[in-house]
Amino acid sequence: MEGKQVGLRDLFSMQFTSPGFSRELLKVVGDQQPDACFQCMKCSSGCDALKFQGDFRPHQLVGLARLGLRDRLLNAKLIWSCTTCSYCREVCPQDVSPVDVIKALRRMAVKEGQLLEDHRKIAGYLFKTGHLVPVNEEVMELRKKLGLSSVPPTTHAHPQSLEEVKKLLRATKFVEIIGGGGGSDR
Ligand code: SF4
Ligand code: SF4
């Protein structure tokens, strides 16, 4: 029947699997091969991210990546709660490296403008000040106590360089991606 989707369907999300998305993901992942995963769950046994937010475990994410369940992958909380500690890469007997799959998913999500509100806000600071974490008064005082200048030799000390930073961020489409978060001055 014309226009009818065929393939495996995930019964939780009722979403069809997408081999195209898996191929796209593999290109971003690089050398690591999720297809070699035999679901032994060693990676999930010591994953720190599960203490913070528990939706998927690393072995489940790798399983979804093999199926290409795009929306579930790009909306998985694990892709943002992962601390990139690399435990899962070190213990995997198949050299799969779930953390690299997670990093690839992050890149793909961000490219589509899907990022957490907090990240958007912090990214807005980079555009506005040249720093992801601008130096505040408390830090200035600490620096002075340590015999340093109150601000580091960055855009804080050279505000005229901020326009260069903004130019770079506009050229890389960073500003479009963050959508003006953090009240940034575009
Ligand atoms: S440790 Fe490796 S092979 Fe085992 S489930 Fe995790 S990714 Fe798959
Ligand atoms: S790198 Fe991320 S997914 Fe892997 S064990 Fe560490 S926190 Fe968990």
Question: In a structure prediction context, what are the per-residue pLDDT tens digits for the chain, which is 186 residues long?
Answer: 445 555 667 766 667 777 677 788 887 877 777 788 999 999 999 998 887 766 889 999 999 888 888 888 898 989 999 999 999 999 999 989 999 999 999 989 988 888 888 888 888 999 999 999 999 999 999 999 999 999 999 999 999 999 999 999 999 888 888 875 444 444
**Residues 92, 100 contacting (CB under 8 angstroms):** no
Closest residue by CA, ligand 2 atom 6: 85
Query: What's the length of the chain?
Result: 186
Residues forming CATH 1.10.1060.10 domain(s) in the chain? 19-111
| Two structure tokens written together for 28 | 């971003």
* Residue of 48, 55, 86, 92 to mutate, ligand 2, most atoms within 8 A of C-beta: 48
Give residue 131 CA to ligand 1 midpoint distance, Å: 37
Residue 17 gets which letter from DSSP? P
Nearest ligand to the CA atom of 100: 2
Torsion of CA 103, 109, 110, 115, to 10 degrees: -100
Is the CB of 102 within 6 Å of ligand 1?
A: no
Enter the pTM of the model: 0.76
Residue 31 gets which letter from DSSP? S
CA angle 58, 22, 57 (to 5 degrees): 10
Q: Residue 16: helix, strand or coil by DSSP? A: strand
- The HSE-up count of residue 174 (CA atoms within 13 Å, CB side) is 21
Q: Which CATH class is domain 19-111?
A: mainly alpha
Give residue 15 CA to ligand 1 midpoint distance, Å: 24
Give residue 73 CA to ligand 2 midpoint distance, Å: 15
